[in-house]
C-alpha cells in the first residue's frame, strides 16, 4: 500500500509542466510562493487524518529544515523559471532524469550495490537527456536559449532525485511535517519575490492554475511521494516514475502549447529505456518490511 500511495503521487506530478505553462505571465518565484501557500492550506486536513500537528516539525533538527526547505524552494524555483521558457514537451520528458537518479541512488544505499545494468541504464539515459537538451523537440527559433533552460530542468530534476534518496535515509521525519515546510517555503519565496521581482496580479485562470499546482503536484503529490519512499519500495517507485515524463508530455500536447513529434521519440526511448534498464534488479527484489520506517514518530 505505501508504494501504491507513492505511485499516485507520481501520477499527480505529471500535471506540473502543463499547469506551469498557464502561468508564464506570472514571475516564477511569485508563482512558486503562491503555489506553496495553497499546498500549506492542505496541512490541517493531513494533521487531522494522521492525528499529528505542526509541533512535530519544530522538534526536528535544523539540518532537516535546511535540506527539506532548501530542496522544495530550490527545485521548484528552478523548474518553474526554466519550464516557463523552455519547449514544454521536451521539458516534461526531461524530468525523466529524476527517476533515473532515484534508481541509481538507491543502489548506493546500505545493503545495495551498483551493478552493470545501473551503469548502462545511466549511460543510455544521459544520452537521451543530452539529445533533449540539444534539440528540445521544437523549432529552435521558437525557443531562444532552450539549451540553457532545458539544462537547468535536468539539473533540478537530478537534484530532486538525490533529495528523494536523502529522505529515504531519514525515516523519522514525519510526512505530516511537510505542511510546515510548505509554509516556510512560501514565506521564503514570497520574500525573495519582493526583492527580485515585481508583483503581477494573476487572472482568474492563472489563479486556478496556481491553485492546481499547489494542491496537486506541489501538495498532495509530495505528501504521497514522501510517504511512499519512506515506507514503500523506493526502487519500485523509481521504476513507476518512468511513466511520469510521458504522461506529462502527453498532457502538454493535449492541453498546452506543446506538441509531440518524432524528434522526441529517440531521446524519450533512451531516457525511459535507460531508467528501466537501471532498475533490472527490481524484478528479483523482495518487498521491504513495512515496519522499517514510520509515517509518524513514536509517541512519547
The answer to whether residue 1 scores a pLDDT higher than 90 is: no
Q: What is the pLDDT of residue 182?
A: 95
Residue 270, domain member (yes or no)? yes
Give percent above pLDDT 90 in the chain. 23
What average pLDDT does the segment 163-186 reach? 85
CA dihedral over 296, 45, 243, 31, signed as positive or negative: negative
The answer to whether residue 23 scores a pLDDT higher than 50 is: yes
Residue 298, domain member (yes or no)? no
Residue 222 and residue 23: Cα distance in Å, rounded? 21
Q: What is the pLDDT of residue 295?
A: 38
The three-state (H, E, C) secondary structure of 109-176, written as one string: CCCCCCCHHHHHHHHHHHHHHHHHHHHCCCCHHHCCCHHHHHHHHHHHHHHHHHHHHHHHCCCCCCHH
The answer to whether residue 31 scores a pLDDT higher than 80 is: yes
What average pLDDT does the segment 248-252 reach? 72
CB 80 within 8 A of CB 31: yes
Q: Which of 38-42, 44-48, 174-178, 261-265 has the lowest mean pLDDT?
A: 261-265
The answer to whether residue 141 scores a pLDDT higher than 60 is: no
Residue 241, domain member (yes or no)? yes
The residue among 137 and 71 whose pLDDT is bigger is 71
CB 128 within 8 A of CB 249: no
Alpha carbon separation from 26 to 59, 92, 122, 157, 222 (Å, rounded): 36, 20, 35, 22, 23
Q: What is the pLDDT of residue 296?
A: 41
Q: What is the pLDDT of residue 154?
A: 77
121: left (phi over 0), alpha (psi -120 to 50) or beta: alpha
Residue 132 and residue 90: Cα distance in Å, rounded? 6
CA dihedral over 230, 236, 240, 245, signed as positive or negative: positive
Residue 205, domain member (yes or no)? yes
The answer to whether residue 190 scores a pLDDT higher than 50 is: yes
What are the cell numbers at 106? 538507491
The total domain count for the chain is 1
Q: What is the pLDDT of residue 153?
A: 79
What are the cell numbers at 128? 537521451
What average pLDDT does the segment 253-258 reach? 64
Of these ranges, 2-16, 91-105, 115-129, 242-256, the one predicted with the greatest mean pLDDT is 2-16
Q: What is the pLDDT of residue 215?
A: 95
Residue 299, domain member (yes or no)? no
What average pLDDT does the segment 92-120 reach? 69
Q: What is the pLDDT of residue 97?
A: 67
The residue among 91 and 33 whose pLDDT is bigger is 33
Residue 14, domain member (yes or no)? yes
Residue 148, domain member (yes or no)? yes
What's the domain range around 201?
Answer: 2-291
Alpha carbon separation from 41 to 123, 165, 271, 291 (Å, rounded): 41, 27, 35, 30
Q: Which of 75-84, 100-109, 210-219 has the lowest mean pLDDT?
A: 100-109
Residue 300, domain member (yes or no)? no
Torsions phi, psi of 225, nearest 5?
Answer: -65, -45
pLDDT band at 298 (very low <50, low <70, confident <90, very high): very low
**What SS3 class is residue 219?**
helix
The answer to whether residue 299 scores a pLDDT higher than 60 is: no
pLDDT band at 93 (very low <50, low <70, confident <90, very high): low
Q: What is the pLDDT of residue 212?
A: 95
Among 147, 123, 124, smallest CA distance to 135 is for 147
Amino acid at each position: 500500500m505505501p508504494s501504491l500511495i507513492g505511485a499516485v503521487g507520481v501520477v499527480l506530478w505529471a500535471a506540473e509542466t502543463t499547469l506551469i505553462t498557464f502561468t508564464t505571465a506570472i514571475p516564477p518565484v511569485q508563482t512558486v510562493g503562491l503555489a506553496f501557500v495553497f499546498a500549506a492550506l492542505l496541512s490541517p486536513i493531513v494533521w487531522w487524518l494522521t492525528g499529528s500537528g505542526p509541533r512535530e516539525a519544530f522538534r526536528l533538527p535544523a539540518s532537516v529544515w535546511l535540506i527539506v526547505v532548501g530542496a522544495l524552494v530550490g527545485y521548484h524555483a528552478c523548474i518553474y523559471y526554466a519550464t516557463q521558457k523552455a519547449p514544454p514537451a521536451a521539458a516534461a520528458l526531461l524530468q525523466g532524469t529524476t527517476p533515473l537518479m532515484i534508481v541509481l541512488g538507491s543502489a548506493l544505499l546500505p545493503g545495495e550495490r551498483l551493478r552493470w545494468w545501473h551503469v548502462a541504464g545511466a549511460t543510455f539515459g544521459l544520452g537521451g537527456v543530452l539529445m533533449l537538451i540539444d534539440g528540445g523537440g521544437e523549432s529552435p527559433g521558437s525557443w531562444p536559449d532552450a539549451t540553457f533552460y532545458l539544462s537547468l530542468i535536468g539539473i533540478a530534476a537530478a537534484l530532486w532525485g538525490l533529495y528523494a534518496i536523502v529522505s529515504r535515509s531519514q525515516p523519522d521525519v514525519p510526512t505530516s511535517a511537510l505542511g510546515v515546510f510548505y509554509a516556510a517555503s512560501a514565506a521564503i519565496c514570497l520574500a525573495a519575490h519582493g526583492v527580485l521581482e515585481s508583483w503581477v496580479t494573476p487572472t482568474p485562470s492563472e489563479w486556478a492554475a496556481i491553485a492546481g499546482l499547489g494542491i496537486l503536484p506541489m501538495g498532495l503529490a509530495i505528501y504521497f511521494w514522501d510517504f511512499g519512499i519512506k515506507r514503500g519500495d523506493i526502487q519500485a517507485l523509481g521504476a513507476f516514475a518512468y511513466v511520469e515524463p510521458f504522461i506529462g508530455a502527453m498532457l502538454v500536447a493535449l492541453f498546452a502549447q506543446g506538441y509531440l513529434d518524432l524528434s522526441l521519440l529517440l531521446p524519450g526511448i533512451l531516457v525511459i529505456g535507460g531508467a528501466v534498464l537501471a532498475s533490472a534488479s527490481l524484478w528479483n527484489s523482495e518487498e521491504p518490511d513495512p515496519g522499517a520506517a514510520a509515517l509518524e514518530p513514536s509517541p512519547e
